[in-house]
Amino acid sequence: MAEMTGRERIEAAIALQPVDRVPIVPLAENFAARHSAFTMADVVRDFDIARDVVARNFDEYGGWDAMSAPAVPINDLGFAMFGAAGKLPGRELGENELWQADERVVMQVEDYDFIQDHGWNAYLVKVYPSLGYLVPPEQLAARLGEIEAADQKSICYWRDRGVSVYTGGGAGFGLDDISLTRSIKGLITDIYRRPDAVVAAIEAIVTEQLPQGIANFKALRESTGGEPITICLASGVPTYLSPKNFERFFWPYFKAGVEQIVDEGILINLHFDGDWTRYFEYFLELPAGKLVLELDGLSDIFKAKEILEGHMCIMGDVPAAMLSLGSAREVTDYCRKLIDIVGKGGGFILSSGCAAPTDTKPENFRAMIETGKAYCPHS
């Protein structure tokens, strides 16, 4: 097979078509930051530094097929957009510590009624002052504009280099939004104690946020030339639900939302943290050949291949522990196993299981990239 470009590989993998080799799309921002001359605080505060450290990392390891984010993984508004609390390096944390989610309860029981009556955007405005450590309200609009400009600058940088960019977006499916501000424990408790209030809030969030998300996705599609949009369910909260509750509180809203987004001609990369193994069958109800299911090492990626082969592209899944604690030989062997099994017949993108940890061994990261490039049993 003739050599393909990175974008051609990714588009072929999503469409479940043959590739010359598997596409490689690691999440390397945190690893790149820790193995640079800058601190994590420098990277969070300065978007140009964030882009440059990733670019140097990209060049040092010979490059790969797409960048997983245009600017930085977390910034000073990264949690606030979900009404959630967080801690940042150089602020609540040391200069070279990794950002942290602070899973304290922000949303109160009475806020379910508030969200139903006033919507999610109004709720975020309501709780914003209680998050305290973030940008002062009078600087919020300017900071949002600065972040958007930095994203566009990074997108242009990578496009000029001929490298695809997976951009992030929010679509407002409800359950994950609530979990990040109410806490997972609080939400699960509410599902049993006040289920109707949870459903009403989810429906209010979806009604307001999904159209806004689709409009944003269209703008991102225009700026990137049609690259996949990454939707992240970072809490993995649906995986904690019984099948009955999964079907009531998550699946119908998610399925309908994904179908609407796909109908707009938008490719979606589903970054799903947590163990989704028992729910893989549900993904057969989603449009075929239009989605990427990105797994983080907790789900059984080989089971995903068994169930979703010929229906959905799968991305992953070199485990964080292996990248940090394993040997280069172990990484090479695991990548070969992924390519042999999950890559057979197409529909696979090689990646780290979620983000490569800050303490990833350089030789292990190199083994992942080089194995993906060199091992091509199906081409």
**Does residue 158 fall inside a structural domain?**
yes
**Is 348 within a domain?**
yes
Task: Indicate whether 221 belongs to any domain.
Answer: no
In a domain, 248, yes or no: no
3-state secondary structure of 25: coil
Cβ–Cβ < 8 Å for 343, 305: no
Any idea what the CATH number is for the domain that residue 338 is in? 3.20.20.210
Q: How many domains does the chain have?
A: 1
Q: Which residues of the chain have pLDDT under 70?
A: 69-73, 133-134
pLDDT score, position 72: 56
Please give the pLDDT value at position 320.
95
Find out whether the peptide bond into 317 is cis, omega within 30 degrees of 0.
yes
Give the separation between CA 348 and CA 375, rounded to whole angstroms.
Answer: 14
Per-residue pLDDT, 73: 56
Is 303 a member of any domain?
yes
Q: Find, among 262, 264, 269, the residue nearest to 229 by Cα.
A: 269
Give the tens place of pLDDT for each residue, 118-169: 999 999 989 988 887 667 777 878 888 888 888 888 888 998 998 988 877 7
In b/e form, how buried is each residue of 2-15, taking b as 16+ CB within 10 angstroms? eebebbbbbbbbbe
What's the confidence (pLDDT) of residue 244? Answer: 96
pTM of the entire predicted model: 0.94
Residue 88 lies in a domain: no
Please indicate, yes or no, if residue 135 is contained in any of the structural domains: no
Within a domain: 247: no
Model pLDDT for residues 174-226, shown as the tens digit of each residue: 998 999 899 999 999 999 999 999 999 999 999 999 999 899 888 888 878 88
Query: Residue 71: what pLDDT?
Result: 55
Parent domain of 360: 1-77+150-166+267-379
